[in-house]
Each structure stands twice: as structure tokens, then as C-alpha cells.
Amino acid sequence: MPESQRLFFALSLPARLQRQLVSWRAQAFEEHTGRPVAGASLHMTLAFLADVSPEKQQALMTLAGRIRQPRFTLRLDDAGHWPRPGVVWLGTRQPPRGLIQLADLLRAQAARNGCHQSNAPFHPHITLYRQATRPVALPPPGFCWTTDVQEFTLFASEFSRGRTRYQALHSWPLV
């Protein structure tokens, strides 16, 4: 019988931007800030679904395929540290309306299909470091990366041999 998978909807980043962020991160943050997330794994989660059965996955994919939302430009110009989960993140000072609408829609569809959604407000971010539990020196404001977002993706999170890997299962275009 096929098994449940740990799933989430997210924005992937172009490979070039992933590489740029990895090299910026190395000079913008101190060594030992935390465990850096691999460049190919950098992403912005829109809706976290947790463990999803194959039937529910199919239903959520059908709904995702009906979404007609506009493309938008994302400006990555903010950074922060959440000490409790040990996350250092890159985010945006002004989330574009298209980003919020897309995340709201995916989160609402997930909730209606029994995927518990946190009550905490959506804080769009790209996790740069994990296990960052000690105080972190953040880079001064002034940095800004931009990317044109043209699609969103369903990812599976797989844990094996001590590592988490994200596998892109399917992407849908924004219009």
C-alpha cells in the first residue's frame, strides 16, 4: 500500500539565485552561525501539509491545478533570527499581494482537506541556517535579492541517512 508523505507547497528558487545566496550567506554571516541549508534546498514555504495520504495528495494536487493567481516579483531584503526553532531566515519587508493571496489559498485548501494549519500569521521566509540557537549577528540592512516568481511547487520532505532532502513532485504556473 502506498505510504503517506511529508509534503509542503513552496516557491523554489532559480539555481543561479541559490548559488548567489550561498556565497552571500558565507560572507554576510559569521562562521558557526548554525547549520547552513544546502543551496539546492533553499525555498520559501507557502503551506505546510505534514503527513498526507496518497488520496489526499491527489485531491490537493487537483485543487492546486485550478489555481489562477498572478505572477509577482519577490524582493528578499530582510533577515532575522528565531532562536527557539534555531532558524536564521531571509525574507521580505513588503510581501507582495500575489504571494499572500497564493499562500492564503493553499493554506485554506489544505485546512479544508484536514491538514492542520497553524494559527500563527504567515511569515514568508527562506531558512538559511538551522540549529542557530545562540545569538546571531545579522547583516546590516541594504541587501536585496529579487526574483520573478512564475510557479509554485509541491515538495516531499524525505529523511534518510541523517539528512533531509526535498523532492519537487509537481509545479503549477502562475498566470
Nearer to ligand 2AM, 80 or 139 (CB): 80
Query: Binding to ligand 2AM by residue 152, rule CB under 6 A?
Result: no
C-alpha cell at 121: 500569521
> Could you say which DSSP state residue 118 is in?
-
Q: How far apart are CA 140 and CA 30, in angstroms?
A: 13
Map the footprint of ligand 2AM across residues 73-102, applying CB under 6 A. Answer: 87
- Based on the number of CB atoms within 10 Å of its own CB, is 141 exposed (0-12), middle (13-18) or buried (19 or more)? exposed
Least distance (Å) from ligand 2AM to the CB of residue 114?
15
Residue count at the site for ligand 2AM (CB under 6 A)? 7
Q: Judge whether 64 and 106 are in contact, CB under 8 Å.
A: yes
Catalytic residue among 81, 116, 123, 125: 125
The dihedral region occupied by 123, where left means phi > 0, alpha psi between -120 and 50, and beta the remainder, is beta
Least distance (Å) from ligand 2AM to the CB of residue 2?
21
Residue 57 to residues 22, 33, 66, 167, Cα–Cα distance (Å) = 32, 36, 15, 15
Q: How far apart are CA 85 and CA 158, in angstroms?
A: 19
Least distance (Å) from ligand 2AM to the CB of residue 62?
22
* Interacting residue with ligand 2AM among 29, 48, 72, 129 (CB under 6 A): 48
Nearest to 104 by CA among 91, 155, 112: 112
Q: In the annotation, is 123 catalytic?
A: no
Map the footprint of ligand 2AM across residues 2-21, applying CB under 6 A. Answer: 8
Nearer to ligand 2AM, 94 or 119 (CB): 119
Least distance (Å) from ligand 2AM to the CB of residue 127?
3
* Interacting residue with ligand 2AM among 33, 45, 109, 153 (CB under 6 A): 45
**Residues belonging to the active site:** 43, 125
Binding site for ligand 2AM (CB under 6 A): 8, 45, 48, 87, 118, 127, 157
